[in-house]
Structure 1
C-alpha cells in the first residue's frame, strides 16, 4: 500500500507532531508532505531522516519566521500537493491539511486536532487579543476569516473518514462541518510517568501559565484553604497573576518552571492534580493519572474523556475559585475512594500502543 502523510507545518516538536511521529511508526515507508519545514536540527529525530515534500510557502519571503502570516495562501498551497497514485492519505490537521485533494481510488483519513478555532467560535477572542477589533487591518482580518470559514467547511467533505482527538472535538466537528467524527485520542508517552504508591502530601497545578489555563483561580482557591498545601509549577505570561493570587499564602509553594524529573516527582507525590482549563484533550491530565494521581478538573472539554468521575477524579462545573474550593473539600472527604491503581489503569487507554492499534484498525476497516 502506497501511503502519504500530510501535516500543516513543521517548526517544532509538539503535540500534533507526536501524532505524525506515530503515523510514521505505523507506516514507515510513507511519504511525508508539509506546507513548510523549519524544524531545528535537534528536533528532527522523529522524522527518521525523512525530508518532507513542501509547498511554495517554503520559498516565500521571510517564511521561516512569518509563515503563519501566509494563512490566506495555505488553502491554495495544500491543494497543490499531487497525491495521485497513493492508496491511503493520512492528514494531521488543525488548519488546512484535511483539505488536500485526492482521487476516487485513494482513501483519505484525516486526524483532526481541532477545526480552526480562531476562524470559528474563538474568532472574537482572537481579534481582541491581537488588537484587531477596529480599523482597516481589523476589517481585512474579519474578511479573511470569513473566507477561511467558507473554505474550511467546503473542504471538510474531502476526507473519507474524520478522526477527532476527543469527544469534545468530535462535537465541534459536528457543529461547524456537519460531519460525524470517530474519536481517537492522541498518543501519550506514559513510560516517563510511572505509577507511585508512596504517601502523598500536596496538591499540584503544573503547566504553562497562559490566560485560558486559569491557574490564578487555583491559587486563589487554595489561599482560602490554609490547611492544604499547594505546589504550583510552571511559568508563562500569566505568572504575575498567579503570584498575586498566591501572595501571603504560606501554604502555596510557587516554584516556576521545573525540570522534567522534578515534575514527575511532584506528580507522584500529589494527593490530586488540579486543572482549571477547558482543553481540547489534555495530555497533562493523562500524565498525572499515569503516576496514580487523581484529578480535580474543570468538567468541560477533553477532561470528560479522561476522568472517571468519582473513581479517578472529580469535576467542578464552573471556572471560579468558589467551585474549586468546593471540589477540593469534596475530594478530601472522599479521598480513600481514589486509588493510585485505578488512576494508573485509566491512563493506559491513552498510550502510544493504543493509538497505533486503533489507527491501524480504522485503516484496515
Structure 2
C-alpha cells in the first residue's frame, strides 16, 4: 500500500508533529507532503521520510507561512497524489484540501478546524493590525467555503477530542471518531518537595485567557509563575509582585516547574490540551475552566478541580477550594491517569482504527498499518 501523509506545515515539533511522528512509525515507507518545511526544526524521524513541499517554500513561506493563508488552497491542490492508496492528512492548519485519487482512502486526523477562520475569527481579527483586518475580512468568507467543500474529499474524520468532533459536525456536518493525541510521559515524574507557586504554561495567546490567572493570583496574593512567550505589556500591567513571567524556557526548566508547582491554572479553552496531562504526569493537579478538552482529561476531585465561569472571581473561588483539599490529591493517582494518554496507547488506538476503516471499504488494498 502506497501511503501519503499530509501535514499543514513543518516548522517545529509541537503536538501536531508528534502525531505525525506516530503516523510515520505506523507507515515507515510513507511520503510526507507539507506546505513548507524547516528541516532544521524537525526530528530525525521525520527527516528520514521523503518530504515534498509546495510552491510556498520557494517564495519565503518557511518564514512567512502565516501570512500566506489565502494561497494555501492553491498550494495544497498542487500536490500530485496520483498512485497513493491511502492519504492521511493531519489538520490544524489546512491539510485536508489535497486532491486524493479516485480510488484512494482519505483519512483526516483533525486537531481542530482552522480556528482563525471559524470560532476564534473575531478574536484574531480584533488583535490584528488595520491592514490585516481588511485582508481577513476579504479572504475569510472564501476560505470558509473552501474549507467546507474540501471536507467532502475526506472519507473518514478522526478528531483529537470529543470537543473537536462537535466542531467538525458543526462546520462540516460530518461525524468523527475520537482518538486522543499522545503525551510523551518519559520525562515527567513526581518529586517529593513542592514549591509555593501556581503555574501557567504554554504560548500566550488571547484565547488562553492567562490574564484570569494573573489577576486571580495578584488579588489573592498567591505566587504564580507564567512560562511561555507572548506576554505583552497589558498582561504584565495586570500582574502584582507575586507574579513572575519567565518567557520561553528549555525543557529541563519546564519539567522542573511542572513537578514542583502547587497546581496548574488552566483558564482557557483548548481543543485538547497536552500541558495538563504533562503536569498530571508530574504528580501535580490542574485547576481548569470546565469547557473544551479539559473536560476529557481532568477528573474533578481526583486529578484536579473545575470552575464554571471564565472569570477571575470563579478562578479565585476554585483556588480556595483547591487549597482546602490539596492534601487529597495523590501524585501516584495523577501519574497513573496521565499514563492512559501515553504514546503507546495512542499508537495502538490510532493504528487499530485506521486498519478497521481500511478493511471496511470494499476493493481497497489491505495490510496492517504497523506493517506499512
Regarding TM over 0.5, the answer is yes
Please state whether the residue corresponding to 1:157 is helix, strand or coil: helix
Distance 1:95 1:269, change over 3 A: closer
Residue in 1 aligned with 2:76? 78
Picking from 147, 150, 157, the partner of 1:152 is 147
Alignment partner, residue 185 of structure 1: 180
Task: Check conservation: 1:231, 1:255, Cα contact below 8 A.
Answer: no
- Measure the CA separation in 2 of the matches of 1:104 and 1:256: 48
For residues 293 and 205 of structure 1, the distance between their equivalents in structure 2, rounded to whole angstroms, comes to: 13
SS at match of 1:212: helix
Residue range with higher mean Cα deviation, 199-208 or 214-223: 199-208
Q: Say if 1:233 and 1:258, in contact at 8 Å, map to a contact too.
A: no
SS at match of 1:118: coil
The alpha-carbon deviation at position 294 of structure 1 amounts to: 0.8
Aligned-residue offset at 1:364: 1.3
Residues 104 and 257 of structure 1: CA distance in aligned 2, closer, same or farther (over 3 Å): closer
1:225 aligns with 2:220: yes
Q: Given the superposition, is the C-alpha separation of residues 174 and 12 from structure 1 closer, same or farther in structure 2, using an over 3 Å criterion?
A: same
Residue 158 of structure 2 contacts residue 177 of structure 2 at CA under 8 Å; is this kept in 1?
yes
1:340 aligned onto 2:331: yes
Q: Which residue of 1 aligns with 2:95?
A: 97
* TM-score of the aligned structures, taking structure 2 as reference length: 0.88
Task: Please say if 1:107 is aligned against 2:105.
Answer: yes
Going from structure 1 to structure 2, the CA distance change for 1:331 and 1:131 (only over 3 Å counts) comes to same
- What is the 5 A alignment of 1:3-42? 3-37=3-37, 39-41=38-40
Cα deviation for residue 276 of structure 1 reads 1.2
Shift, 1:248, TM fit: 4.0
Q: Residues 269 and 71 (structure 1 numbering): CA distance in 2 closer, same or farther, change over 3 Å?
A: closer
SS at match of 1:89: strand
Matched, 1:313 2:270: no
Farther-moved stretch of structure 1 (203-212 vs 278-287): 203-212
Consecutive unaligned residues in structure 2, runs of 5 or more: 357-372
**Conserved? CA contact 2:81–2:99, under 8 Å:** yes
- 1:18-65 alpha-carbon deviations (Å, 9 max, x no partner): 21111101111111111222x142534231433312223333x33333
**Residue 210 of structure 1: aligned partner:** 205
1:239, distance to aligned residue in structure 2 (A): 4.8
Secondary structure at the residue paired with 2:305?
strand
TM-score, normalization by structure 1: 0.89
Q: Gaps spanning 5+ residues in structure 1: where? A: none
Identify if the C-alpha distance between structure 1 residues 212 and 342 changes in structure 2 by more than 3 Å, giving closer, same or farther.
same
Structure 1 residue 200, shift from structure 2 partner = 5.8
> Judging changes above 3 Å, is the alpha-carbon distance between structure 1 residues 25 and 153 closer, same or farther for their aligned structure 2 residues?
same
- Assess if the C-alpha contact under 8 Å between 1:216 and 1:241 holds in 2: no
- Partner of residue 131, structure 1: 129
- For 1:234, the equivalent position in structure 2 comes to 227
Deviates more, 1:71-80 or 1:308-317: 71-80
Given the superposition, is the C-alpha separation of residues 144 and 224 from structure 1 closer, same or farther in structure 2, using an over 3 Å criterion?
A: closer
Which shows bigger deviation, 278-287 or 64-73? 64-73
Mapped partners of 1:290, 1:209: distance in 2: 22
RMSD of aligned residue pairs (Cα, Å):
2.3
Q: 1:55 touches 1:78 (CA, 8 Å); kept in 2?
A: yes
Q: Is the 2:79–2:98 Cα contact (8 Å) retained in structure 1?
A: yes
Distance 1:352 1:338, change over 3 A: same
Counterpart of 2:365 in structure 1 is none
Tell me if structure 1 keeps the 8 A contact 2:30–2:49: no
C-alpha distance in structure 1 between counterparts of 2:195 and 2:133, whole Å: 51
What aligned pairs does 1:266-277 form with structure 2 within 5 A after superposition? 266-277=257-268
Structure 1 residues 10 and 323: CA distance shift in structure 2, 3 A: same
> Equivalent residue of 2:36, what SS?
strand
- The farther-off stretch of 62-71 and 342-351 is 62-71
**Does the 8 Å CA contact 1:233/1:257 hold for their aligned counterparts?**
no
